Structure 1
Amino acid sequence: MKLKILFSVLLFATGITRAQHNMHMGKLNDSTRKDSTEVNHSGHKMGQMNTEVPMSHAYSLNLPMQRNGSGTSWLPDAAPMYGTMYHSKKWMYMMHGSVALRYTKQDLAEKGSRGGEKLDAPNWFMFMGQRKVGAKGLFHFSSMLSLDRLTEGGAGYPLLFQTGESWKGQPLVDRQHPHDLFSELSVAYTYSFSKKSDLTLYLGYPGEPALGSVAFMHRPSAMSNPDAPISHHWNDGTHITFGVATIGYRYDKLKLEASSFTGREPDENRFDFDQPLFDSYSARLSYNPTKNWALQISQGWIKSPEGLHETENVKRTIASAIYALPLGKKENLNATLLWGLNKTKGHAGENAVLAEATYRLNKLAVYSRYEWVQKSAEELNVNTDIFGNGSFGVNAFSLGINYDILNLGKFRTALGGQLSFYNTNAALNSLYGKNPVSGQVFIRIYPGLMGM
């Protein structure tokens, strides 16, 4: 049954890639028949102005598309852009996604009792569109779906030292939770006062508040890695939030945003729409000093994020720096440095540090990720009478490689592998073994690099 589900997901992904390619080519052929004038990437016809279709940032007519992150967050202007794009008369559409059919085994040497293994296929798919509204307005919609609940099951996939959310009333520990079928359904309107000044209103159900850096699956430095970071709930744990309202003002290289949103993380039913509460809030300052850098600092006050700990509210602080360096037409380097702090009343603050990078050369991608995360005994679901009430510092280092072996229209199929090395307090050796190592092999389908 599991193999049938995974095969169905691959067929679904392949069908999407072919449909996207056919739609793109159909639009292109129609455009060619109607008007032989070439179109460049500024959204204007060469030799004939066409201001109807904005090929701009999702939330600004005056910023480049490459700055699009997750939600309303920013990437560097020099970041590579993956996806497929096509146009109608007044609209610009874009599709993106990723599927990783893989076998993963945590604790390869079976030193401890908390490792697991699985044949699965983490996945997500996006469809978005935008159009101008009058001379200075921009309307944008975005949708993101995931079939994780079918490919991963309700308990998600095994991942040593990962924590967050629950299944059948029990906390998920050493597992990454599946994402909801509807991970984003959002709309936004931006009004441009000038080339340097924009005001944006963003509404999502679900959506992503102005809190933290770009979510891991949308960072160029992390896209090749099928695993979520074990610091997921220190940075992008709110990237699927059922009820978000954000207002943001940009002036030149700076943007200030404020959000009201639902603090509770998604419930165990991954197919429904949770109740919007708007009981939490956040603020974020973003700054892109050059085309190569995207910096942000943000803070959120999150009411009762975990359903199993309803009385615990979290104050979350995050700072990050994302770097992008194009080295050639098909060569680039992308890196992210991130720090997050979760503070709950009556508990010591828990920190997380992440540093990751991906080097891409034509068909080859080599990537790495290092994390240091403080996980409490409660978070790791261990007996506090034996292990105490303190926190444990977890070090995790992953090294992986992708190599493209096949093209499907605008999409690529890569063969890859990854090893992860862990180190933590010796007190946990009875559960995890000393310095456990995990590994995986995978086939990944993802969109090709867009020529910008």
Structure 2
Amino acid sequence: MKYLPFIIINLLCFAAIAQDHPVHHMQKDSTTQKPMDANHMKMMPNMQHDTIKHMMSSQFSRDLPMNRDGSGTSWVPDETPMYMYMVHGKNWMHMFHGSVFMRYNKQDLFNRGSRGGSQFDAPNWFMYMAQRKVGKNGLFAINTMFSFDPFTVGPGGYPLLYQTGESYKGAKLVDKQHPHDLFAELSLAYTQRVAKNTDVYLSVGMPGEPALGPPVFMHRLSAMNNPDAPLTHHYADATHITFGTATLGFRYKNVKLEGSVFTGREPDEHRYNFDKPRFDSYSVRLSVNPSKEWALQVSNGWLKSPEEAEPNDNVNRFTASAIHTKMLGEDSYVATTLVYGQNRHHGVTQPSVLLENSLQLHKTAIYGRYEFVQKDAGELDLEAMFPSNPNFNINAVTLGVNHVLTTLKQTNLTAGVQTTLNVSPRALQALYGSSPVGFQVYLRITPALMKMGSSKSRHHSMMNM
């Protein structure tokens, strides 16, 4: 926690920079679903070229709104509001995003079992993104993401009952969420518009995120209020930090097909370095946004030796997801995500289901998450107790509420509390208790919701981008 003041100062510095430059939010109406509505273009043909030139576009298409960008090259609904700072230069557009949870976390509030832990910590991440147009049809983008988790959470991660994935000091991490690496993303992308409503792009990262799964949990609007990674993380979206990835994508209108080659191995326990790129795994993803409120995807990945603790275990990972976002007002909305993910390895398929929702009502958010996941004794490091390696069905329900206390220099300070009810399989109740309850209380620092002012100020700002 000694690094926490530095993190807070860093985020406030981003806010101070944004305060002195134009900061905009693309609201969800007919003029902001795309860089310019087609009917609007017909009404103002003389403004069409200049308007498209200056509007805020996706990092992977000059014809799509920035709101559609999820993590990596994934899509979220166009209706998604943005929490970030934005600075417009002469040729470049710079964006800053981040989150810090300062919290107390106790995973077994009533001490029903022996596996729960407690900790004061501060999970966090920060992003810097930049993009610029190249010629008449090109687009170049830079994405970076950093996390100080190794310092503010600890190299062994934070307590989280029934969580698994990755390792520390030669042992599997169980009932712990691993910290994210200091360098969580360093990627470059180039997009070329080849025809009307048609793009091709190449994205490379060291680390980066392959085309596999939905947008990672911290970049989903439905999950942004919850400081915990899902128990289904390593069944759906855990490849968001991959040391060595290349993705080739093709978009036509609201349909996108992508393929990636990447390193299958999860990051090692040395969270400050760069792991060896192997490019030994593959994935393919189909994304469809049927309307401004929906984002759908289906994907499959063939991962070679993802876990250091089980180097001979390859995984076939399948995911499907649906994300829905609906604006209820200028600063109110409801966001929902449904994710199915499964891992198939050593001849067994283990499924998972996640349903999460966040209702934002001005300054107050009410949110929840339901998870079902099937894990075997080996995954939970209980093979000595269960030599036959049976599967266990695990269920967890989380409910939380938070409120924005104040907004300073486009930065929100939010207080929240949440609780999780874990339903233990009968065979594991001696270790975990029948229904251990987790509890957390936190203060969160994030950029505020980006907003546009009046139509007059929007026009003035747009013409000065």
- TM-score, scaled relative to structure 1: 0.93
SS at match of 1:263: coil
Distance 1:387 1:230 in 2: 24
Residue 450 of structure 1, CA deviation:
1.6
CA distance in 2, matches of 1:166, 1:386: 21
The Cα of 1:424 is off from its aligned counterpart by 2.2
CA-to-partner distance for each residue in 1:38-79, whole Å, 9 max, x for gaps?
xxx9599x9793666551011000001110100000001111
2:379 paired residue number: 379
Decide whether aligned partners of structure 1 residues 8 and 387 sit closer, same or farther in structure 2, where only a CA change above 3 A counts: farther
Give 1:200 shift: 0.7
Question: Are residues 1:430 and 2:430 paired?
Answer: yes
Alpha-carbon distance in 1 for matches of 2:128, 2:259: 25
Cα distance in 2 for partners of 1:6, 1:417 equals: 20
1:183 counterpart SS class: strand
5 Å-filtered alignment, 1:300-449, equals 300-346=301-347, 348-386=348-386, 388-449=388-449
C-alpha separation between the residues in 2 aligned to 1:260 and 1:143? 20
Contact 1:53/1:87 (<8 A) preserved = no
Q: Say yes or no: does 1:187 pair with 2:188.
A: yes
SS of the residue corresponding to residue 62 of structure 2 reads coil
Aligned match of 1:71: 72
Secondary structure of the 1:297 match is strand
The answer as to 2:6 corresponding to 1:5 is: no
Tell me the number of residue pairs that the alignment of Structure 1 and Structure 2 aligns: 437
Alpha-carbon distance between aligned partners in 1 of 2:273 and 2:195, rounded to the nearest angstrom? 41
Q: Are the equivalent residues in 1 in contact too, given 2:187–2:205 (CA < 8 A)?
A: yes
RMSD: 2.2
- Give me the whole-angstrom Cα distance separating, in 2, the residues matched to 1:213 and 1:227: 17
- Structure 1 distance, partners of 2:334, 2:364, is 12
Corresponding residue for residue 224 of structure 1? 225
Q: 8 Å contact 2:14–2:96 — kept in the other structure? A: no
**Residue equivalent to 1:21:** 19
Report the residue type matching 2:237 in the other structure. Answer: D
The 8 Å contact of residues 317 and 340 in structure 1, kept in 2 or not, is answered as: yes
> What is aligned with 2:165?
164
**Which residue identity is paired with 1:311?**
N
Please give the alpha-carbon distance, in whole angstroms, between the structure 2 residues aligned to 1:13 and 1:106: 28
Matching residue's letter, 2:286: L
Gaps of 5+ in 2: 25-33, 453-465
**Cα contact 2:301–2:317 (8 A) shared by 1:** yes
Contact 1:53 1:92 (8 Å CA) reproduced? no
Q: How does 1:137-176 map to 2 (within 5 A)?
A: 137-176=138-177
Distance in 2, Cα, partners of 1:343 & 1:65: 35
Q: CA deviation at 1:384?
A: 4.2
Report the 3-state secondary structure (helix = DSSP H, G, I; strand = E; otherwise coil) of the residue aligned with 1:77. Answer: coil
Read off the aligned partner of 1:424 and give its amino acid letter: S
Cα shift readout 1:215-250 (whole Å, capped 9, x = no counterpart): 000000000111110111011110000001000000
Structure 1 residue ranges without an equivalent (≥5): 29-40
Displacement over 2 Å in runs of 4+: 4-22, 41-44, 46-54, 383-388
TM-score (structure 2 length as normaliser): 0.90
**Sequence identity percentage:** 51
Please state how far the C-alpha of 1:86 moved relative to its aligned partner: 1.3
**Per-residue deviation, residues 242-274 of structure 1 (Å, max 9, x unmatched):** 001000000111100000000001011111011
Give the deviation of 1:345 after TM superposition.
Answer: 2.7
